[in-house]
Amino acid sequence: MYESEVNNRLEAIDTLPPSVVKQFGELRAQVKSRTILPWGEHCTECSWPTCYTTCELYEARSDGNCRLFADGMVRVDIEDDIRPYLLKLRFKRWGKLWTVGNLALYEPKEALRKEKQNIMVGALTRIVPLSTKLRARVLGKVSYLRRCAAENEPVRVELPDCFVLECYNPNARPISLTISVRAREATSDSNFQRVIQVAPGFLRECVTTRDIFRWVNPGQPFEVEIVPNEVDDTVLYFGMMDFARLLPQAKWIEAGEGATKPWKCIVWDLDNTLWQGTLIEDGPDRLKLRHDIIDVIRETDQRGILHSIASKNNHADAIHVLQMWGIDKFFLYPQISWDPKSQSIARIAQLLNIGVDSLAFVDDQPFEREEVQSAFSKVTVVDAADAREILSRPECQVPITEESQQRRGMYQQEKERKLVQESFEGDYTKFLQECKIELMLTKLTSENLERVYELAQRTNQMNFSGSRYSREKLAEIQQSQDHETFVIRCADRFGSYGIVGFALVNVHEPRLMDLMFSCRIQGKRVEHAFLAYLLERYSLPERHDFFANYRRTSKNEKPGKMFEEIGFECVDEREGLISLKYSKFRSISKDSIIRIHEERMRGE
């Protein structure tokens, strides 16, 4: 909801790209309820009222307040079930969006009705014949009453689980926004702050209230502001800017650092978490399994989220109880010992080859949760009392694919591979050859698009371009005549890895635009074999130079050394994007470790 003081300017929705309008409309099937925050234009350097007479940037609005958006709050009407309009804002220097906070949630239809009612109030205030002075007083009173109503609105039955920000950046360069939530008491220095990079195009950011209210008491008055950094005369479009409660099927588009990241593994405590009672004191016969938690584990397992254990217990006794109930199969690399649980978390992440920032830890003891949190600030800690809500959390809203349903089995196969490798007498290359690794290549299709989307959202260590493709973008790529796509399946004598990679090649240059692999194949020479295949495909027999894009990050820097190992050379670097070249005069080095099969690639 915006301030009633707006100019009469409206902008037609067809001035925006249709794909962006479609993205703004995606929320209608994802939000269960939301707040109605009264956003207005304010100044980052405000020292009201003296600045009105001393600041050279002061420009009076019709209500006497300062104009911080060059064109006011321009309304772009949109046919939607979530909100009736978008806001187009042209920020002046020091301009910011600001609102008083509240957590009162409304169902979408009720929120929509209230938004339209506010539009009518603003329109009536503008058309009623009043003197300039009286109109300013009426507009000021309306804005004041709206803020008071929002601040004093009582919280209803449920609390929101995230703050949602939608933004479209039509500019050619990225814009950084700072979201701040702070207590309104002058004596409090508690505040939450996050900087978000809005690349050219559409962004949807979901910030969990768990993160926000670790710093700000939601029971006390607070305020929210959104500040564009180092911009002047910059246009941005905003959709939803509210706290919300999501439907269980909500699916969020990843937006890089700071976004809500899907959990790859949930680590469980045992005593008074997975079961009621304490094993060492009560004995196995007096324990009571929490079937509601097992239901959560079964469902998230089907979504491809792994599970493990970090428990202070005797290992053999605890495993016996898990086997007795037939649930031991769900837990990979359980860490059951008397070590600090932060050490157990570290070992689980290492054994699964995933980052700790993709882990969640569930425990009934505040001490244990804080111990893990102090060691790993990016691990999400969950009170066991809230474990039943895990299924509806944004971090668990992930695509369900054939690969995700089999992910636990694939990790168990990988465990078997490691055991065989450790017992193998001979060099590593010989071991890989005996594994009989095969790659099957096919094009991007409607049948495998969902898995490629999942791969793009989950992959960090071996994502060499940093791309986080939306489903819509993948559908566009699928139809492109200028690019060739490669969906990569992998299998060996132990079993199938499923779809483990995706590549995109501009066939005219030729240039590898995107390359990403699941970390499950890391260290198996799969990426080397695939790049050698591409070099043969595009360099021979005409002998063309072959180019590749590589955006180096702290996570992909080590696997990214494969480009240098193969023989690529850096020819350019701009804004973090490295352009690599494999000279047409170089021979192509291949090994005999991996066999590659083309499925419907050539001549389609």
Residue 260 lies in a domain: no
Residue 471 lies in a domain: yes
Domain closes at, from 218, 246, 274:
246
CA 45 to chain centre: 32
- How many other C-beta atoms are found inside a 10 Å radius of the C-beta of residue 105? 24
Q: How confident is the model at residue 348 (pLDDT cuts 50, 70, 90)?
A: very high
Sign of CA dihedral 274, 277, 282, 284: negative
Report, as an integer, the average pLDDT of 170-189.
Answer: 78
CA distance 372 to 378: 10
| Same domain as 430, residue 385 | no
- Assess contact for 164 and 92: CB atoms under 8 A: no
Here the contacts of 573-578 (C-beta below 8 Å, separation 24 or greater) are 576/551, 576/552, 577/549, 577/550, 577/551, 578/549, 578/550, 578/551, 578/552
Beta strand extents in 199-334 (DSSP E only): 201-208, 222-228, 234-246, 265-268, 275-276, 288-289, 306-312
Residue 1 lies in a domain: no
Residue 325 tokens read as 């109930």
- Assess contact for 178 and 194: CB atoms under 8 A: yes
Residue 68 lies in a domain: yes
- Which residue, 359, 340, 361, is CA-closest to 351? 359
- More confident site: 189 or 451: 451
CATH classification of the domain holding 29? 2.60.120.260
Q: What is the DSSP letter of 146?
A: H
Residues in the chain: 604
Q: Using the predicted structure, report yes or no on whether residue 268 has a pLDDT greater than 70.
A: yes
Q: What is the DSSP letter of 259?
A: S
Q: Using the predicted structure, report yes or no on whether residue 254 has a pLDDT greater than 60.
A: no
Sign of CA dihedral 72, 77, 78, 82: positive
Report, as an integer, the average pLDDT of 325-332.
Answer: 94
Pairing of strands 483-492, 495-506: antiparallel
Quick one: pLDDT at residue 64? 61
CB under 8 Å to 80, separation ≥6 — which residues? 24, 25, 27, 28
- Which residue, 169, 194, 231, is CA-closest to 44? 231
- Condensed to tens digits (0 to 9), the pLDDT of residues 191-237 reads 788 878 788 888 888 888 888 887 888 878 889 999 887 667 789 99
- More confident site: 590 or 336: 336
Residue 5 lies in a domain: no
| Same domain as 143, residue 17 | yes
CATH classification of the domain holding 375? 3.40.50.1000
Quick one: pLDDT at residue 190? 66
- More confident site: 47 or 129: 129
CA distance 1 to 87: 10
Residue 258 lies in a domain: no
- Condensed to tens digits (0 to 9), the pLDDT of residues 358-408 reads 899 999 998 899 889 888 888 999 999 989 888 888 788 776 777 777 788
CA distance 585 to 543: 7
- Output the CA–CA distances (angstroms, integers) from residue 291 to 386, 393, 432, in the order listed: 14, 19, 42
Q: How confident is the model at residue 4 (pLDDT cuts 50, 70, 90)?
A: very low
| Same domain as 418, residue 392 | no
| Same domain as 157, residue 69 | yes
- Condensed to tens digits (0 to 9), the pLDDT of residues 156-167 reads 557 788 899 999
| Same domain as 504, residue 379 | no
| Same domain as 270, residue 242 | no
| Same domain as 383, residue 309 | yes
- More confident site: 410 or 560: 560
Q: How confident is the model at residue 582 (pLDDT cuts 50, 70, 90)?
A: very high
Q: How many domains does the chain contain in total?
A: 3
394: left (phi over 0), alpha (psi -120 to 50) or beta: alpha
Domain closes at, from 193, 215, 246:
246
| Same domain as 479, residue 333 | no
Q: Using the predicted structure, report yes or no on whether residue 458 has a pLDDT greater than 90.
A: no
Residue 104 tokens read as 């009162």
Element (H, E) at 76: strand 74-77
Percent pLDDT > 70 in the chain is: 83
Report, as an integer, the average pLDDT of 176-194.
Answer: 77
Vertex 459, ends 453 and 460: CA angle to 5°? Answer: 145
Burial class for 448, CB neighbours closer than 10 Å (0-12, 13-18, 19+): buried
CATH classification of the domain holding 592? 3.40.630.30
Residue 403 lies in a domain: no
Quick one: pLDDT at residue 136? 66
Helix (H, G, I), strand (E, B) or coil at 588: coil
- More confident site: 451 or 403: 451
CB under 8 Å to 374, separation ≥6 — which residues? 342
Quick one: pLDDT at residue 375? 84
Burial class for 7, CB neighbours closer than 10 Å (0-12, 13-18, 19+): middle
CB under 8 Å to 484, separation ≥6 — which residues? 443, 504, 505, 507
| Same domain as 507, residue 386 | no
Quick one: pLDDT at residue 457? 77
Helix (H, G, I), strand (E, B) or coil at 260: coil
Among the residue ranges 288-302, 447-461, 493-507, 524-538, the one predicted with the least confidence is 447-461
CA distance 417 to 130: 80
Quick one: pLDDT at residue 603? 43
Q: Using the predicted structure, report yes or no on whether residue 184 has a pLDDT greater than 80.
A: no
- Condensed to tens digits (0 to 9), the pLDDT of residues 84-139 reads 889 998 887 778 888 988 888 988 888 888 888 777 776 676 667 777 667 667 66
Q: Using the predicted structure, report yes or no on whether residue 453 has a pLDDT greater than 60.
A: yes
Q: Using the predicted structure, report yes or no on whether residue 440 has a pLDDT greater than 90.
A: yes
Domain closes at, from 338, 364, 396:
396
| Same domain as 333, residue 219 | no
- More confident site: 137 or 176: 176
Q: What is the DSSP letter of 331?
A: B
Element (H, E) at 120: helix 108-127
Q: Using the predicted structure, report yes or no on whether residue 63 has a pLDDT greater than 80.
A: no
Residue 131 lies in a domain: yes
- Assess contact for 301 and 310: CB atoms under 8 A: no
Tell if the pTM clears 0.85, that is, is over it: no
- Which residue, 588, 571, 589, is CA-closest to 580? 571
- More confident site: 419 or 245: 245
Domain assignment of residue 501, given as a range: 414-598
| Same domain as 471, residue 371 | no
- More confident site: 457 or 538: 538
Q: Using the predicted structure, report yes or no on whether residue 291 has a pLDDT greater than 80.
A: yes
| Same domain as 504, residue 370 | no
Among the residue ranges 84-98, 290-304, 310-324, 331-345, the one predicted with the least confidence is 84-98
Quick one: pLDDT at residue 257? 37
Report, as an integer, the average pLDDT of 45-62.
Answer: 59
CB under 8 Å to 316, separation ≥6 — which residues? none
Q: Using the predicted structure, report yes or no on whether residue 442 has a pLDDT greater than 90.
A: yes
